[in-house]
Amino acid sequence: MNELMTKPNLFEKYCKNKEHAKEVEKYSLMILSALKGGVEDFKNLPEKAAEYLSQASLLHDIGYCIEKKSHHKHTMTIIKNEGIENFTNEEVEIIANVARYHRGSFPDTNKHEAFAQLTQENQTLVTKLGAILRLADGLDKPHKNLLLRMEANETEEAVDIKIKTIGFKPNLKMAEEKKDLLEFVLQKKINFLFM
């Protein structure tokens, strides 16, 4: 039986850029809500998906305390080794894997042992949430806090993500680069539109 973790607060202990982490969390939850509202493949995510995504978003860059280049891998290791308070071991594994896939290669059962050890259901969940986190991280470049809300509409060929900003259009160059995993998950092109 999984017991709840009672561990130190990793966000307070390791997060170097708390403002960025909180914005990525906000954007991740916006994207999740938009996708659940407008994309069939995201409508039946588990009840706790938002909690996992929230934690992974807040912690996604804590691996910088070890090294910049592979910080996503170090993030996963720190989360797995230290745990997260009020989450079971299985939930910590999910959160650690979601945080790991905010950059770098896609989840791969042949190359990534931690991902391969998850159940198939949790692998699917990690891939979907990792795709959201990856995109949210791209949307917060260059750290300008411009986004107010999002909506998603699915068609046969694409998913349009409509973005409401504070009055001017943000630079979406990094978001364009980091939408790749979400496009892979959906097998559709992601288009960004402004409301």
First to last CA, the chain: 47
Closest alpha carbon to 12 in 59, 56, 57: 59
Angle ∠(21,79,31) on CA atoms, nearest 5: 40
What is the pLDDT at residue 8? 56
DSSP per position, 8-47 = --HHHHH-S-HHHHHHHHHHHHHHHHHHHHH-GGGTT--T
Residue 13: other Cβ atoms inside 10 A: 12
Nearest-5° angle of CA 132, CA 134, CA 138?
A: 115
What pLDDT was estimated at residue 4?
46
- How much is the pLDDT for 143? 55
Tokens representing 179 are 């939408």
Question: What parts of the chain have a pLDDT lower than 70?
Answer: 1-8, 142-145
With H, G, I as helix, E, B as strand and everything else as coil, classify residue 3.
Answer: coil
Regarding pTM above 0.95, the answer is no
Q: Which domains does the chain have, with CATH numbers?
A: 10-194 (1.10.3210.10)
- The CA distance from 90 to 126, in Å, is 12
